[in-house]
Amino acid sequence: MTPLQRYIAEEIATDHVDGLLSRREALRRLALLGVSTAAATALFAACSEDKKPASNAPVTSSAPATSSAAPPGTEKALPTAPITWAGPQGELQAAWADAPNARGGVLVIHENKGLNDWVRSVAVRFAGIGYSALAIDLLSGQGGTAKFADPAQATAELGKIAPDVFVANLKSGVGELQRRVPDKKLAAVGFCMGGGLTWQLLASGEPQLAAAFPFYGPAPDNPDFSGSKNVAVLAFYGAQDQRVTSTEPVVKAALEKAGLVHELVVEPEANHAFFNDTGDRYNATAATDAWRQVQDWLTKYVG
């Protein structure tokens, strides 16, 4: 099992432990990753053990802070259009949200469900505040996310893609974004798996990024960000998302060693995927705070 497949498997198991997936559905999704029933049962047990609070730790509610208000940024959202361009290994697909008189550009890197409507909604929010956004489809080589009627199958297919292929396609996405917003500074934002890929893009030494926003993304193994010279990094974690938030010290040390401007924000009482307003862990308070900080960071470091 690749590191990405292991990460996805742990996420599925955690969703089951948290009551967001039935055992039957969790087993089905894990089977698509090649995880046997026996291995899945052991994974459930391990995730259950990890979720137990320490005896001296306060118990916090896992219920998200929800709101009837629209998700942050949607009031100014602009539409997207499908685009394609020649990538390193074939045609790449994306959703393009064009901001008039753009102040800069943002590469949006999706979760492990592929390029879906929620990811498009993030792109249009950036366009609405003046930053043209390109939401890349990392399943382009498999025909695109829309080809998969079952989102779990899309997730399984993403788990089969090699890290170097992801990075090459992301770099191509940065290049296409630069072509569409010439002479402007660029940023990248990623969520969940995409947050982890944002860290990998930084570790690859991508030279065209002025800012990066990894949301609850797992740290790469032994990260080295010294090749990314001028990137200002603002990362977000959920205090209840111990599986990913526990890797925060690793990236903090690597960022400090590389001498990069950075801030790592742990949102209190927020869990994994707190920014996704279509999910069960959406936290309106944390999402609104993160959106405000992202805008401030963009103004300061992108334009």
Each residue's pLDDT, cut to its tens digit, for the chain (303 residues) gives: 888 889 999 999 999 999 999 999 999 999 999 999 999 999 999 988 866 543 333 333 344 444 557 887 776 666 789 999 999 999 999 999 999 999 999 999 999 999 999 999 999 999 999 999 999 999 999 999 999 999 999 999 999 999 999 999 999 999 999 999 999 999 999 999 999 999 999 999 999 999 999 999 999 999 999 999 899 999 999 999 999 999 999 999 999 999 999 999 999 999 999 999 999 999 999 999 999 999 999 999 999
Residue in the structure block whose two tokens are 């570790």: 203
CA distance 53 to 237: 18
CA distance 214 to 7: 16
CA distance 229 to 205: 8
Tokens of residue 24, six digits: 């039957």
Q: Are 53 and 59 in contact (CB under 8 A)?
A: yes
- Closest CA relative to residue 167, chosen from 141, 205, 133: 205
What pLDDT is recorded for position 68?
58
Quickly list DSSP for 163-207.
Answer: HHHHHHHHHHHHHHHHHHSTT--EEEEEETHHHHHHHHHHHTT-T
What pLDDT is recorded for position 61?
36
Tokens of residue 43, six digits: 């994974």
* pTM for the predicted model, two decimal places: 0.92
What pLDDT is recorded for position 2?
83
What pLDDT is recorded for position 79?
74
Tokens of residue 73, six digits: 């940024």
What pLDDT is recorded for position 51?
65
Q: Residue 131: phi, psi to the nearest 5?
A: -120, 110
Which CATH number is 80-302 given?
Answer: 3.40.50.1820
- Closest CA relative to residue 194, chosen from 6, 33, 18, 8: 8
- Closest CA relative to residue 203, chosen from 240, 233, 236: 233
What pLDDT is recorded for position 1?
83
CA distance 15 to 280: 10
C-beta neighbour count of 80 within 10 angstroms = 21
Tokens of residue 199, six digits: 């860290």
